[in-house]
Structure 1
């Protein structure tokens, strides 16, 4: 979580918050993060996005969210169809509302623009197979 600037909490428009949602949201709140809530699959038969929003709010209250965390933005989406909107009955033709919510709500990282490049690596792996394949391919060209 130390590398995270914000979170998108993606919740199914039919099922609502799942048990694992509670765990990860509690971690996010402990780090002072303010989630952007994405209600996905709003096009699914039986979807109940308004009920899901109420369930998310109740979850946040039960997790002792701050007032700022309780004032969460909501984006409705159908990831399968590549559409999103700020109202589940008035969707855009693309995912722009989701991207705009991220741009508007996620704070810029605290960086020294005049300092040297800094990069935090979270995973490092090597593979000798790739190197051997590249060597074999280049020697075949010779």
Structure 2
């Protein structure tokens, strides 16, 4: 389940390609001009990079999961197999009863490497279900 290079580039930015706008007045003008308002923090999960996602899962599996599946996840990361990495990470979390942070799960689902219907997608959606995360 690899992602095309063209699709990958649409979601990849280098630090020098982005200029954050932090001035509150400028942000206000942009919001008024466009009619767009920022999403709540937990819905801005797309800002998390695939490397950050996989690093989070690697730490979770290493610390909370006693290292089980962390070698497999590290191998996938090293090989650039991001889709496989997410599948390994989510399957390992599910298998060990580990609950990733809700924002991380949303970022996982928003990632272009978590294709709809793949195992990682199914597991992450299940984990976000009300039964997994009571209100």
> By the TM > 0.5 criterion, same fold?
no
Structure richer in helix, relative to its length: 2
Short-chain TM bin: under 0.3
Q: Higher strand share goes to which structure?
A: 1
Rg: which structure is higher? 1
